[in-house]
Amino acid sequence: MIVEDDAIISLGLRIFLNNQGYEVVDSADFYEKAVQVALDKKPDVILMDIVLKRDKNGIDAATEILKHYHPFIIFCTAYHDREYMDEVHELQCPLLHKPLENFQIIHTIEDFKKQNCSPSTV
């Protein structure tokens, strides 16, 4: 699942991940949709932007999702704010900085696959 407020970035990630053999189940650009889709479709991996549309951010969405099940959440952000980094660290999720490089995403997912089961849905 891709949670990203920029439609062009979201589409690019979807195309890239599909080309790499991953099924992207859906995308969202704000908190409520991100939580709803995640809980309905339960993807193995969620690429989560920190800054989202509307009031709540990706850290808020991840915190709510993790109350219900435990997907592998990879945070992606262009911001280097210490508060964001501390909050992501508390959730024990990897953090990638934008602009994203495709190899960073695949490497992070592959590390997860080695440590756990092979994710099939993003």
pLDDT in tens, 8-40: 999 999 999 999 999 999 999 999 999 999 999
- The residue among 27, 36, 45, 19 whose CA lies nearest residue 102 is 19
Domains in the chain and their CATH numbers?
A: 2-103 (3.40.50.2300)
- Looking at residues 88-103, what average pLDDT do you find? 90
Rounded-to-integer distance, Cα 87 and Cα 79, Å: 13
Would you say the pTM of this structure is higher than 0.95? no
Tokens of 48: 């989560």
The count of C-alpha atoms lying within 13 angstroms of the C-alpha of 101, restricted to the half-sphere facing its C-beta, is 4
